[in-house]
């Protein structure tokens, strides 16, 4: 792949926590297995979107694998330049800068696709998912840094700039208008899933169909490894070993996304506030939870996981039932411990012998992301 790369050692604690050590390294690690008709197995890791992204694939040779993976990582970097709310020069940030000006701004096909999907889910979730939440998110980011609750005056002043009804899409011109001054779009609950989808699509156009792409605990799977029913993914493990082994799912031609507050949160006066902000109130979620969604594509899984976290188990399952091919597992704090609930079709993804009883009281989850098991 013609460049230095980062060897990333993931810490067991959740949502993008990592230890990075820079080193000169081979572009990919080939692990051929005797009798594999799908080719040799290659693994790659590279930081993208502020997170470690990993690609595992089967290809006939290193040249094919290297070229496909370089194109996939380049596509993720390209999308970051479009969708990032951290980069002031991104297309998204430039769009946010037009808020309240009355301008209708033509946008790229990528940004249009993500915003269209976001607005559709905003309507279906009655505002539980809302990419205009940026002004609130910025206040909570500062609150976590300062270790203090956001100033209520600032929260109230941000309210007029939040609301999916203030984001206007013009399908005929593929243009966007932000109606209220001070609006700031935040695609943190949907952009990563879209990037994973696009990375897998690029691999497939290069002839690599047996692949799994993951980033920050979310993942999108293509065809399974040779001779297997799916890629083996261990769901969030529990601190208490007495709770039994963590459940394992098999993922193929599908996506998995996890949303939770086990890593990014603020604890004040015995109360815990998640980094996930309810767009309807401006307040970080206060009930510890861990949501895992399996869907047909990464963008859907990513956005649904956030929406379900905000909605809670009952309304969240109702929302997921309305999305074809989607299933959800919800772990939440209850009196005396954690309980797990899941939609009726989630169990079909469990590897035989690993399915937990639902609902079941369990210990607090240690990790907020699925973990791929090679």
Rounded distance between C-alpha atoms, residue 331 and residue 22, angstroms: 36
What pLDDT, on the 0 to 100 scale, is given for residue 36? 45
Q: Is a pLDDT exceeding 60 seen at residue 20?
A: no
- State the Cα–Cα distance between residues 184 and 355, nearest whole angstrom: 41
User: In DSSP terms, which residues pair with 260 in a beta bridge?
Assistant: 290
* C-alpha span between 21 and 126 (Å, rounded): 43
Distance CA 115, CA 176 (A): 9
pTM: 0.84
For residue 306, how far is the Cα from the chain centroid? Answer: 8
In terms of Cα–Cα distance, which of 258, 259, 314 is closest to 285?
A: 259
pLDDT band, very low/low/confident/very high, at 336 (cuts 50, 70, 90): low
Q: How confident is the model at residue 287 (pLDDT cuts 50, 70, 90)?
A: confident
Q: Give start and end residues of each alpha helix (H) in 14-151.
A: 62-83, 91-96, 109-124, 134-146
Cβ count near 299 (within 10 Å):
26
| CA–CA gap between residue 118 and residue 128 (Å, rounded) | 11
Each residue of 232-261: pLDDT tens digit? 999 865 444 444 567 899 999 999 999 876
Neighbours of 308 (CB within 10 A): 28
Q: What is the DSSP letter of 364?
A: P
């Amino acid at each position: 792949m013609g460049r230095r790369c980062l060897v990333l050692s993931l810490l067991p604690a959740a949502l993008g926590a990592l230890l990075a050590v820079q080193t000169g390294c081979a572009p990919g690690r080939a692990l051929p297995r005797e009798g594999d008709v799908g080719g040799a197995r290659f693994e790659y890791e590279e930081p993208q979107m502020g997170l470690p992204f990993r690609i595992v694939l089967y290809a006939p040779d290193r040249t094919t694998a290297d070229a496909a993976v370089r194109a996939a990582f380049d596509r993720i970097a390209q999308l970051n330049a479009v969708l990032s709310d951290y980069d002031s020069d991104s297309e998204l940030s430039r769009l946010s800068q037009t808020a309240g000006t009355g301008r209708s701004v033509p946008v790229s096909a990528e940004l249009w696709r993500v915003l269209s999907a976001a607005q559709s889910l905003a309507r279906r979730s009655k505002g539980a998912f809302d990419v205009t939440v940026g002004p609130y998110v910025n206040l909570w980011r500062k609150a976590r840094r300062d270790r203090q609750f956001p100033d209520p005056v600032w929260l109230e002043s941000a309210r007029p700039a939040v609301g999916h009804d203030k984001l206007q899409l013009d399908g005929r011109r593929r243009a966007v208008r932000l109606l209220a001054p001070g609006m700031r779009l935040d695609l943190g609950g949907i952009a990563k899933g879209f990037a994973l989808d696009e990375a897998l699509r690029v691999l497939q156009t290069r002839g690599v169909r047996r692949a799994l792409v993951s980033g920050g605990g979310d993942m999108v799977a293509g065809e399974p490894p040779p001779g297997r029913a799916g890629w083996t993914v261990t769901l969030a493990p529990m601190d208490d070993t007495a709770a039994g082994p963590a459940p394992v799912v098999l993922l193929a031609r599908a996506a998995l996304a996890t949303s939770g507050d086990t890593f990014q949160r603020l604890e004040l006066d015995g109360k815990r506030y998640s980094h996930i902000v309810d767009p309807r109130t401006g307040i970080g979620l206060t009930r510890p939870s861990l949501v895992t969604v399996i869907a047909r594509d990464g963008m859907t899984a990513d956005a649904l996981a956030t929406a379900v976290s905000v909605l809670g188990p009952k309304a969240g399952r109702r929302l997921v039932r309305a999305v074809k091919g989607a299933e959800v597992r919800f772990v939440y704090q209850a009196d005396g411990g954690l309980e797990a609930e899941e939609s009726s079709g989630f169990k079909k993804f469990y590897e035989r012998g690993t399915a937990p009883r639902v609902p079941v009281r369990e210990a607090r989850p240690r990790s907020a992301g699925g973990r791929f098991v090679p």
